[in-house]
Structures are given as C-alpha cells and as structure tokens.
Structure 1
Amino acid sequence: MVKMRALLSGYYGKGNGGDEALLATLLQMLPSHVTPVVLSGNPEETRDRYNVETCDRMAPLAVLQALRSSDALIWGGGSLIQDVTSTISPFYYGGLMALAQKMGLKTVAWAQGIGPLLRPQTRWLARQTFGNCTKISVRDRASAALLSDWQIPCIIAPDPVWALESKPVPGLWDLPAPRVAVTLRSHPQLTETRLANLTRALVDFQKATQAFILLLPFQKSEDLSIAEAIQPHLKDVSKILCLEDPQLLKGVFRGVEMAIGMRLHSLIMAASVGCRCFALSYDPKVNRLMEDLEMPGWDLASLPDDPNLISLTWMEHYANGDPLSPEQIKSLVDRALIHRELLSQAFL
C-alpha cells in the first residue's frame, strides 16, 4: 500500500486524560501504512509518550507546513466542535479543517461528539466543514441526528475509548482493597457547597464500606486542586493517583470495585472493564452515556443537598448495583471498532 501522512488534530498535549485516551486509541486504530503527525499543545511530551512526529498546534507556520506535507487531516475525536466551553475552539478546529479541504487533503471527522452549538456562526461553520469531509464517524445519537438534519452521511459507533488497551498500574494491587475511584473536575456547577456535600458523603461512604478511595485527577490543571481539597478528610484511607498515560488510567479501573465520576472518559474506562459506575453529570455528553447504559447518577445542578442521602445512594449501588455484563462490554467494544473500519476505508 502507498504510504500516507495524516495530520491529527484534537485537544492533545493539554494534560486531559480523556483527550489523551482518544489520541492513544486513534494511534492504535490507524492503518499501518499511515504515518501520523500529531498537533499538540506539548509536542515534546506527545512525541516521547507515543513515539510519533509532532507539531506545535499553536505555531501557524509549522501547522501550515505540516498540512502541506500531509495527505489527510483527522479531527481526532471528542467534543471539538462546540461553543459552550469555548467560543474560539470551534473556529480553530473548523478553520483548520476548512484549510485542509481547500488544500485538497482527505479530511476525516473521527469519533465526533458534536455540539452544543448555540451560535449561528459556529453552526454554519460546522455544517460547511462536516459537509465537505471525506468520512465522518460520531459517538452518540444526538450528533448523528444533527448531521442527518443537515443531510450529511455519517457512521455512528460508541466512543472509541471503549476499545483502548489498558496497562497494569505498578503498585496498584499493593494498596488496600476494596477500592473505589473518584474523578471530579472543576466546573461552575460544582460549587463550594456541592463539593462540601460530596466530600461529607464520601467520608460517610468510606466508613460504611471500608473502601480505599483513589482520587484520580484526569486533568491536573482542572482536577488536582479538588482531589487535594478532599484528601485531608480521608487521611490514611485514600490516595491521589496522578497518571499521565491514558492506558495506565484505564488500567486503574481494573483494580477498583466502583467509580464515581464527572469525567466522561473516566466512566467509559470504568464501565469497559466491568466496574460499577455512578455519574455526576455536568454536560449533555455525560447524560447521553447515562441514558445509553442506564447508568445511575445525578446532574450536578440537581445534586441532593443532604450528604446522608448521597452516601446512602452510593452505598446501595456499591452493594447491589450491577456492572455491565461481559456480553454488553464485548458488544460495545466490537462496535467501537467501527471507528477503526472507517479509518481503513478512508485510507484505502
């Protein structure tokens, strides 16, 4: 097969475990005759971790040169095209895609979670760029419905991180068992009062279950301070685990009984290895996962004010909740591999 070069664009090199997991999975799924070049916020770190060629995502001349030397551009997964958390983000990714299309590159929108798109200009840009893509895969029904409204064909499959290979975490099995993983992130809906209630509930839950609590920051800049605020209330019965490698992050969940998470990919990783999950949703993408898997949880905006009720609910799920069955997990992993088939088709 003819060798090709593909420029990979996503929220890479920013220390976000979910986006790094998408990159790791994309590299795992890329056809062998395609050489990846990754646009990264930390090119040296990305190069060293994945053994790939990299380029500074914010260096315009270098990005332009990388486009000129590539045969394709891949939008590499996740909620890149949305204007809720950032108004600039969709213009960065959309502008890059439009430029690649103008230059005649193959363009692949891979494992996208589209929206919310609240502004007319971002909706217009999204419609134009998706409409000119060579191939598109999305990870949820809402994204597929939006593209269908725009009469743009796409393939739908579960988030590719379902199929990410995990690595064993050194020292994990030396920690006391049973273990419960907690992944919280900073967000306007996670107010001081709600964080205090969750902390109180976590203390009560730990006492009742005697579980060892693993506090997992998925993005240190957003999550570590919250883990550090909780940890003193759980002295000697908790540990903060900062892991940069997404395969190690996924490996953590192989050694825990239950996961309590805000982060979408913490819940996907946990569910994919047969762990009970309880969601705390701050975003429609988490709600979609809860609906698809019938996963228990609360929207943060409607979190109970009573820490006792929170802890009792967690205890009930810990004692009696069911993880996904091996058959359900196999089905989700097999269907997630559809994203790999799309890449194979795009680079024939």
Structure 2
Amino acid sequence: MSNIVIAGYYGFSNAGDEAILCALIEELKKLGGNLNITVLSARPDKTASEYGVNSVKRSSLVQVFRAMRQSRIFISGGGSLLQDVTSWRSLYYYLFLMTLAKKLGLITVLYANGVGPINSPINRYITKAVLEQHDFLSVRDEESKSFLRKLGILKKAIDITADPAFTLKPAAPEQGAEILKTEGINPEDGSPIIGICIRPWKGENKDYRHVLAKAADFISREFKARILFLPLHEGEDRQESLEIMRLMETDSLLLKGSYNPKELMSVIGYLELLIGVRLHSLIFAAAVGTPFAGISYDPKIDSFLKSFNMGPIGRLEGPDLNDLLIKLDDVWRNRDNMRRKIKEKARKMAERVNEHNRQLFKLLNIMPS
C-alpha cells in the first residue's frame, strides 16, 4: 500500500482550493484500492467525510508528523501556496512541510502549483533551496515555470500542466437548476443571469466597490439581466458581495447556501456570462463552457486569461468605469463566439492535466498493475 499525504489550503471553505483537492483525490482513487490518502486540513472531520479519505489537523505538528512517518509520498497540492503577498507565515508553513517531508524520507511533489510572487530576497532564497530538493516539480502555467527559473532552479525539470479543477465534472444540470430555484431564481423564465464573483481587496482604496456596483447596474439595465453574486470563499466573499450590493441601484441576488465545487459549476452552467475576480470562478466557467470576463488582482489572473487569449477587463486596485463598461459590452456582444472557443480550450486543458497525472503516477510507481 502507498500512503500519500496531501497538503494545501484545505478545510477553509474556499471552493477553488477544494476543487483542486477533489480533482486530485478523484484521480488517485481511479488507480484502485492500494492507496491510503491523508489530507492536512483546517477541518479534518469535514474533509474526511466529504472525500472519503483520512484527514488530520494541519496545525497539529504531532498529527502531521505521525501522518508523514506512516507515508511514502508527500504532495503539495495545487493553488498559490508559494507566495509572500498574502503573508510570510503561509509561505513558511508550506516550506516547512516540504522540508519535514524530505527529512523523513518521503518522495516530495510540487503538484500543479501557481508560484509567486515572492518579493522578499530571503524568501526567494529559502524557496529555491527547498524546491531544489524536491523529487518532482510541476506548475500550472508558463509564468510559474519562468518564475522558478528566475529563482535559480535551473537543473531540475519543471513540468507545466493546467489547474486540476479542469478535470472536474459538474453536478447534474438538474442540481444546478434546483439550487437556483431554492435561491429564488427560476433559470427558465427567459431573462439571462449574469454571475459576479468578487473577493475582498486589501488595498486602502475601496473605490472598486462603487465602480463594480455601477457596472452591475449597467449590465442589469442594458443587458436586461438578473445579477447573481456567487461567493467562492463563503465568509469573506459573501460579506464583500453584500457591500457591493448595498451600493447598487438595481436589484441583485446573492447565492446564500453552502455548495461544493461541482454544484457551483452546475449553477455557473446556467449563466449567460460570469464576471470573476476569483481565479476558480473563471476556471469553473471555462470548464462548463460559460463565457467569462476577468478582473485582475494578481498575476495568476492575467496568466489564466492569457491562456485563453484574453486580457482583464479591469484591475481591482483601480478599475476605470468607462473602460470596464466598454469591455463588458464587447464581451456581451461576442459571447456566443467566445463560448465555442472556451469549450475547446478547456477540453485541451483537461487533457493536459490527465496526461500530467499519468506521467506523475507512473513516476511515483502508483499506477495500477
């Protein structure tokens, strides 16, 4: 039996990170019953119940140490784990786990990560030193590979894949329709639904809220659409959505329930357009073929949009209302053409992840016999 420990930002009710975990576990379970998976989580009981795996408290060194001692492979799950913009503490936490796993003799894997920005010279040095000891490095975009090369990781192979969430299948359309009806929206009444997925901005300037509220009013009136705010991080995104909704002149709705990534993907499948700040809102839209427009707050958004031959329609730190409205109008007029291109590109992204997984699992010697 191969024991595997998976680490990431899990158990925090962030649909994007949970989508990564769900996709990875599903792929591992396809290999058969000879794998024993343990996930480090903020809410181990919930994680164990949802995914049918073992789970331990990520903040308990004793539990983490014990899980690693009983394992052969350590996987640093996808997402933006290695960056110091959010906090140095988070970066050091993941680097510590990687170092501990290596000291205990585990095979160490950086799996489909988005790496950077890492601005501090000491943080860049430490990250380079830790990753150079890894057995397998893979990133989700060309920019992350380029960043690692700039750190000085020159002799190790770095595979490029796509975000694991591209392999997720949405819940049945009937589930998405039922969720919308439960939330007070009839998807069959004829008027289009436009989704907005926002996240908090830590900068001092909060003018973006007024700009986004005016933009939402514009698309509600001009496109004769119903506006639905979709929180991907249940606590902070919901509060931020409410702040913008209060500034709007037109009516809008907020998805209030707690839904897993597959359910959210099913809901997004009913949208005519998704406007997203959260990366995984854009990934979910792409995966189900829903036209989308991204507002950037981080290089990972620019990188993702670039992979679809798009650019951001605005930036969270200082969006220009007139420019935003012009670009939204253009997206709206071209959404049918976008839909076809998005579906094809998302299919290729999923194929890339599947091929990456095959190669990785073969290297780790956990392919079915």
1:275 equivalent to 2:284? Answer no
- What are the superposed Cα offsets for residues 55-103 of structure 1, whole Å, 9 maximum, x if unpaired? 0000111111111111111001111111111101111111111111111
Q: Percent identity over the alignment?
A: 31
Shift of 1:178: 1.4
In structure 1, C-alpha distance between the alignment counterparts of 2:204 and 2:197, rounded to whole Å: 13
Whole-angstrom CA distance in 1 between matches of 2:207 and 2:252: 23
Q: Is the 8 A contact 2:4 2:36 kept in 1?
A: yes
Q: Deviation at 1:309?
A: 4.8
Query: In structure 2, what is the Cα distance between the partners aligned to 1:347 and 1:150?
Result: 22
Larger deviation, residues 105-114 vs 310-319: 310-319
Question: Could you tell which deviates more after superposition, 322-331 or 243-252?
Answer: 322-331
What is the aligned partner in structure 1 of residue 158 from structure 2?
A: 154
Residue 332 of structure 1 pairs with residue 349 of structure 2: yes
Residue 316 (structure 2) aligns with? 300
Match for 1:303: what amino acid? Answer: P
Q: Deviations over 1:172-209 (max 9, x none)?
A: 37334411111000012484321012102201211111
Determine the structure 2 residue equivalent to 1:8: 6
Alignment of 1:198-347 (within 5 A): 198-232=212-246, 233=248, 237-296=252-311, 297-304=313-320, 306=321, 309-321=323-335, 322-323=338-339, 324-347=341-364
**Contact 2:110–2:138 (CA under 8 A) maintained in structure 1:** yes
Distance apart, 1:264 and its partner CA: 0.6
Q: Is the 8 A contact 2:217 2:250 kept in 1?
A: no
Q: Aligned AA for 2:255?
A: I
When residues 325 and 90 of structure 1 are mapped into structure 2, their CA distance, relative to the original with a 3 A threshold, is closer
Counterpart-to-counterpart distance in 1, 2:146 and 2:241: 37
Shift of 1:337: 1.7
CA 1:157–1:171: 2 relative to 1, 3 Å: same
Aligned length in residues: 344
- What CA distance in whole angstroms lies between the structure 2 residues aligned with 1:100 and 1:125? 16
| More divergent stretch after superposition (226-235 vs 178-187) | 226-235
CA contact (8 A) 2:227 2:251 kept: no
SS at match of 1:331: helix
Distance (whole Å) between structure 2 residues aligned to residue 190 and residue 10 of structure 1:
29
Judging changes above 3 Å, is the alpha-carbon distance between structure 1 residues 132 and 315 closer, same or farther for their aligned structure 2 residues? Answer: same
Q: Contact (CA 8 Å) 2:205, 2:317: kept in 1 or not?
A: no
Question: Is the partner of 2:112 in helix, strand or coil?
Answer: strand
What RMSD, in angstroms, separates the aligned Cα atoms of the two structures? 2.0
CA deviation vs aligned residue, 1:129-174 (integer Å, no higher than 9, x gap):
2212222211011221233441221210111111112113233373
Taking structure 2 as the reference length, the TM-score comes to 0.87
Q: Tell me by how many angstroms 1:52 deviates.
A: 1.3
TM-score (norm 1): 0.92
Q: What secondary structure does 2:88 align onto? A: coil
What amino acid does structure 1 have at the position aligned with 2:238? L
Residue 104 in structure 1 maps to residue 108 in structure 2: no
Code of the aligned partner of 2:11: G
Name stretches of at least 5 consecutive residues in structure 2 with no aligned partner: none
Q: Secondary structure at the match of 2:76?
A: strand
Q: Displacement of 1:244 after TM fit? A: 3.5
User: Could you tell me whether the CA contact under 8 Å between 2:20 and 2:77 is conserved in 1?
Assistant: yes
236-245 or 59-68, which moves further after superposition?
Answer: 236-245
